[in-house]
Amino acid sequence: MFSNIPRVILLLGLVLGALSWLIPGLVLFHAAGPYDLGTDWLVFYGAGRAVLNGNIELLFSPEQFTAYLNSTFSWWLSGPLQLHPWIYPPTYLLLVLPFCTLSSVGAYAAFELMSAALLAAGLIFGFDSAHRRRLTVVSVLLSPAAALNVLQGQNGFLTAALLVGGWQALRFVGRRCSAARCWACSHSSRNSGSLFP
């Protein structure tokens, strides 16, 4: 797989990659308590469960929504969350609702794994060389940003997968409509609006 890379460089890369997952984890554990992993995912999951239970009005009251999260996920949290409002567009619910039929832990794992797989698939099509494809995917998935994304339950993999997928559709297939759809879906994330004004 990585036969062209000297073993010492490969070993160094693997050690640094592992540390990139260990250090944010230790910081997160120290800062928020050992059971506060995935608090961003709790917002997505809590909003989806509220909608499925017919309580969509919770999403429009930040204080009530935070209280709902604190009471629903008290078993997961080491202490009450401070204000955690729903600040995503309604279209983002369409992306998270399918996961909300699973348990919160199962949904968290499934969302992160599926998003990471979509990002890896998008990155694979960007290179002619199999070696570069593997190296790029491993580098991205071992990065500190990937570690923080998973530890906090963020949607960075999904946003990046949609952005990369849009570029790949435009670059390799010449499909402007497919690229536009990917980029439009990426706007469901509150952070991606600054990438495409």
pLDDT of residue 41: 92
The answer to the question of residue 21 being in a domain is: yes
The answer to the question of residue 29 being in a domain is: yes
The answer to the question of residue 2 being in a domain is: no
The answer to the question of residue 153 being in a domain is: yes
Its domain, for residue 54, covers 7-194
The answer to the question of residue 152 being in a domain is: yes
Give me the number of domains the chain comprises.
Answer: 1
Both structure tokens of 50: 């509220």
The answer to the question of residue 1 being in a domain is: no
Handedness of CA 81, 85, 89, 93 (dihedral sign): positive
State the Cα torsion 103-108-113-115 to the nearest 10°.
120
pLDDT truncated to tens, each residue of the chain (197 aa)? 556 667 787 778 778 777 777 766 676 666 555 447 788 999 999 999 999 999 999 999 999 999 999 999 998 888 888 899 998 888 888 889 999 999 999 999 999 999 999 889 888 876 677 777 887 888 888 888 888 888 888 888 888 888 777 766 666 666 655 555 554 555 555 554 444 44
Integer Cα distance of 100 and 110 in angstroms: 10
The answer to the question of residue 74 being in a domain is: yes
